[in-house]
Amino acid sequence: MLGSPGRGSVDAIVRHVSATYGREANVRRVGCRREAAGTEHAVLRRLLGASPPGHEVRYATHSLVCGLLARGPLVLAIGDAQWCDEGTLRFIDHLMRTTHRQPLTVLLHLPPGLPGPAAAAFHELATRDYCTVIDAVGLRPADTAQPADDELAELALHDPRLLEVARAAAALGSTDPDLVGALAGLPSKATGRLLAEAGAHGLLPGPVPARGTPSLLGTLPEAERERMRAQAAEILNDAAKPAEQVAGLLLGQSTLDRSWMRAVLKEAAAAARHDRPAAAVSYLTRLHAADPEDAAVRMDLATALVDIDPLAAREHLTHLAGTPPGTDDPPVRARAADLLRLTSLMVHGTSGTPAALDALLCELGPGPQDGPPTGRARRAPTTGTVPAPVPSAVPVLTDHPTERMVLAVRALRTALTAPGPEARETAVAEARRVLWSGRPHTAWARIAAAQVLALADDTATALDQLQRTAADSAEREETWAECHAASARALVLLESGRAAEAAEAASAASRLSETESASERSRLASITLARALVARGDLDRAQEVLLRLDGRRLDDCVWEHHHRLTALALVERGRGRPEQALRLLERCGAGLAAAGVDNPVFSLWWVHSTELLMRLGRPGAAARRAEFGMQLAERWPTARSTGLGLLARGVSADPAGCVELLTESARVLAQSSDRQSHALAELRLGKALLHRSDQGAPARLRAALAIAVRYGLTSVAEQARCALRSAEGRHTLAALSHAERPVAELAAAGKSNRAIADALHLTVRTVEYHLTNVYRKLGVPGRAGLVKWFPAHGPRPAEARVPGGTR
């Protein structure tokens, strides 16, 4: 917008947005500063409140914008844009191109003349098809009302050409006099004059690109409205406008009776396929409805649907690969068969067990093989202290649709079976190849690779990849992929002990699934939410969430079924029912063994059951279970698995040997990503030291409490607080002298001062002196307060106090 912006001008555009979408727009305004013109993303950070450094600001702000757009229309108004930094302008360009059909309006105000430091970026924006340059002086007031239907009827009687021009502009979504005149059948000069008059009457949608005013076209008969849109599409096509702009007018046509219409829809689908798959689906769906027998269109539609709605994609793929009806095109049939196997795995039509993954690999072929690197080398980053041996160069994979899928399936199969120490290195290397070799064919491959890294204790990379996948899927309107990535991220947060973040992420994933009417996708999120609630001590809500799930429909789902059993067991344990909890954990372990899953950190059933066996007085069975877990950990050596094995051994060991094992467990787990297990190791160690009256107990218990409070582990925090109170009590008792303690014990048992003096061969005055010091050191007002410090010596009915006894 050129010229003086003024609040009325901005309000006029906001009013247009609100009227077009039928909801009040959310407006964010910011003015640019000359001194910040050279600071990358300076305006973007102020406009949207994004704080991450470097390239991460783009992911954070894009996610924020998607969230705002989900709630309603959005206007981003930037004043004095000649001082806007180039990074913000390029982000706006990317944002406008990737939020196709979203209720987003970006207003940039410039004074007359050329912009300043970011002239090149402004030039690129001005050439985009979504950009319109307007003069603020010519804007109609913000309170200009849209005419009612009766006013339109009256206008049609007095000045039919004015209404015809306005309808043509609405159908075209443009106020270009040449285009509008061609549709209205009027000369360009006359059309320009009529457009100006129509704008003054409030007939035009506003100064920004319009999507049509319903009241203008809604009064026309359906046949006339369809004819006008078809003619508008033809005019735009002849004017070489972008295919997607033309295709938008063809979506509502009842017939595609001209060859150019199908050609435009195919061109628009091809242009949108990579960055805007949801738009491609709308174009391909219209083409498929026009010709259901076109196998190529149906295959493209199924491919675009995989990450949006895999169930719908599977229906199309089953038709193409089936016999009959199938298709006679061998390449299309082969592609459909490969993609059908993946979609069946995604929607649990195929079990996710290692055996099923093996069968899938056999059907898909060998996939990419290890060998000399090809293409440009790129080193994969490593995080944390967990060893992550990967090839120094990552081969760039080709664009074959199944190549990354095979690699992801192979890495996941290896991670689940954990056949030996070297298997972890292989699985991690293959997962990294999927993640660092460009966009995979589907989001499932990236999510599976991130899950492998999470199992290998590279949680930071896994969380980063899952967050990016969820944001990318939200940007591309891939609802299934976004829900799946968000649910997987919540589970990784939970497994790393970040209960508060996991609960929030799982709740958001569940809400997203419900919004998209896809309850099937929320099962993993719901299970994760229940486990996070258990860690936060909210057993009632956790049980309520689990009861809403139909367990019978999860039996073939490896991740959901076994994590649900673990969640149910943890609820039972929290309710004080160890036998029921143990039965559920044994069932979980048996199910994993039957499925061929031997990864020690896939489910920690063996750690939890070791503790329950000790609680039930079965130390022998607990020791055997701990050894079983340690054997699994040796086959998948990470800091987390090793530390958990040591923790289980320490829990099941006798008091003499447990401290050493728990000390080593706490040391190793401190190097892992699992904050909850680290806190538990510190807690168990603190309790063991407390049992031995070791002075190091409080420090360990405080460490456990600090970790638990930081990550929202309410249950662990409460246990640590109780143990700390006990430790502090013992420390206080240690302050009593050898002469004071027996006096205090007898007083707590209800003995009178005379009885205490006789029993200890002291004078009554000495007893009174000792008791005065005891009260002061323990901070109690009198004899009754001693009972909590010496509960074993509390008064019993048979031990009545001596009548007439004194203090």
Greatest mean pLDDT range, 139-143, 268-272, 346-350, 586-590: 586-590
Task: Please give the average per-residue pLDDT across 162-186, as a whole number.
Answer: 86
For residues 27 and 268, the model is more confident at 268
How much is the pLDDT for 380? 37
Pairing mode, strands 26-31 and 104-108:
unpaired
Helix (H) or strand (E) holding 105: strand 104-108
Cα–Cα distance between 105 and 420 in angstroms, integer? 56
- Between CA 142 and CA 235, with CA 126 as vertex, the angle to 5 degrees is 85
DSSP 442-458: SHHHHHHHHHHHHHTT-
Q: Is pLDDT at 794 greater than 50 in this prediction?
A: no
Lowest average pLDDT, out of 37-41, 226-230, 751-755, 770-774, goes to: 37-41
Convert the pLDDT of each residue in 279-295 to its tens digit. Answer: 899 999 999 999 998 99
Residue with tokens 């506003």: 206
Which tokens sit at 800?
């009545």
Convert the pLDDT of each residue in 601-631 to its tens digit. Answer: 998 999 999 999 999 999 999 999 999 999 9
Convert the pLDDT of each residue in 535-549 to its tens digit. Answer: 888 999 999 998 888
Neighbours of 26 (CB within 10 A): 16
Query: Three-state DSSP class for 31?
Result: strand
The β-bridge partners of 736 are none
Q: Is pLDDT at 690 greater than 70 in this prediction?
A: yes
Radius of gyration of the chain (CA): 35
For residues 570 and 14, the model is more confident at 570
Cα–Cα distance between 617 and 468 in angstroms, integer? 47
How much is the pLDDT for 152? 55
Q: Is pLDDT at 81 greater than 80 in this prediction?
A: yes
Greatest mean pLDDT range, 217-226, 470-479, 668-677: 668-677
How is the chain split among helix, strand and coil, in percent rounded to 5? 65, 0, 30
Burial-class residue 687 by CB neighbours within 10 Å (0-12, 13-18, 19+).
Answer: buried
Task: Please give the average per-residue pLDDT across 365-393, as a whole number.
Answer: 41
Query: Three-state DSSP class for 48?
Result: helix
Lowest average pLDDT, out of 10-24, 36-50, 59-73, 320-334, goes to: 10-24
User: Can you list the alpha helix ranges (DSSP code H) found in 23-148?
Assistant: 42-48, 56-71, 86-98, 119-126
Cα–Cα distance between 787 and 748 in angstroms, integer? 5
For the chain, first and last CA: distance in Å?
90
CB 162 within 8 A of CB 201: yes
Task: Please give the average per-residue pLDDT across 104-133, as a whole number.
Answer: 74
pLDDT band at residue 96 using 50, 70 and 90 as cut-offs: confident
Neighbours of 218 (CB within 10 A): 12
Neighbours of 458 (CB within 10 A): 27
Task: Please give the average per-residue pLDDT across 48-66, as a whole number.
Answer: 64
How much is the pLDDT for 100? 65
Which tokens sit at 526?
């719901």
For residues 357 and 693, the model is more confident at 357
Q: Is pLDDT at 387 greater than 70 in this prediction?
A: no
Residue with tokens 């200009």: 144
Convert the pLDDT of each residue in 747-788 to its tens digit. Answer: 888 889 999 999 999 999 999 999 988 888 777 788 887 877
Helix (H) or strand (E) holding 132: none
pLDDT band at residue 398 using 50, 70 and 90 as cut-offs: very low
DSSP state of 108: E
Cα–Cα distance between 431 and 69 in angstroms, integer? 33
Q: Is pLDDT at 470 greater than 60 in this prediction?
A: yes
Average pLDDT, the chain: 80
Cα–Cα distance between 563 and 487 in angstroms, integer? 13
DSSP state of 445: H
Lowest average pLDDT, out of 322-331, 332-341, 658-667, goes to: 322-331
How much is the pLDDT for 530? 93
Cα–Cα distance between 483 and 347 in angstroms, integer? 13
For residues 47 and 565, the model is more confident at 565
Of 490, 488, 452, 457, which Cα lies nearest the Cα of 643?
457
